[in-house]
Amino acid sequence: MAVPADALSRLLPASGERLTVEPKGSLDDGSALCGVKVDKETVLQVSGERIDAGDSARHILRSRLSIQEQKSSEGNTIAYSGQAAVSLVKCRGGDVEEDISTLVRVLKPGRPNESAMKELMRGYTASLKKRQPCKRAS
């Protein structure tokens, strides 16, 4: 998935030699998880899942990671803090009424950065939308 490289680099450790990405699962099957490692240490986790329509990005961030201090953007479809962010892609039409929730979390020795997290999540969500991840009504 294409993401803003500058935003990603501001969240990764200041030093490191090798970046690897380990994807597991697929949104087509309902959920996906991706670990971003620097020198074999996971520093960023990205998870995506299909959920029932109606939840909010802010509620998901609060309930999953207990993050109370957060901001939102993109019409409240993105909620973020320095260490994590959630976005929702709304899939509607025909008999389809679901959302795709994406959660990104920085782990130590990654570096929390609120503006970088917002930029990363905006770019990630835009790339996801270009892939047209919503299921077609049957």
**Domain residue ranges in the chain:** 5-130
Q: What does pTM read for this prediction? A: 0.91
DSSP notation for 33-63: EEEEEETTEEEEEEEEEEEETT--HHHHHHH
At residue 137, the pLDDT reads 56
Contact yes or no for 79/71 (Cβ under 8 A): yes
Q: CA nearest 60: which of 110, 97, 112, 100?
A: 100
Per-run averaged pLDDT (10 residues), the chain, 138 residues: 92 93 91 95 96 94 94 94 96 88 96 97 95 76
What would the pLDDT profile of 34-69 be if each residue is shown by its tens digit?
999 999 999 999 999 999 999 999 999 999 999 999
At residue 30, the pLDDT reads 87
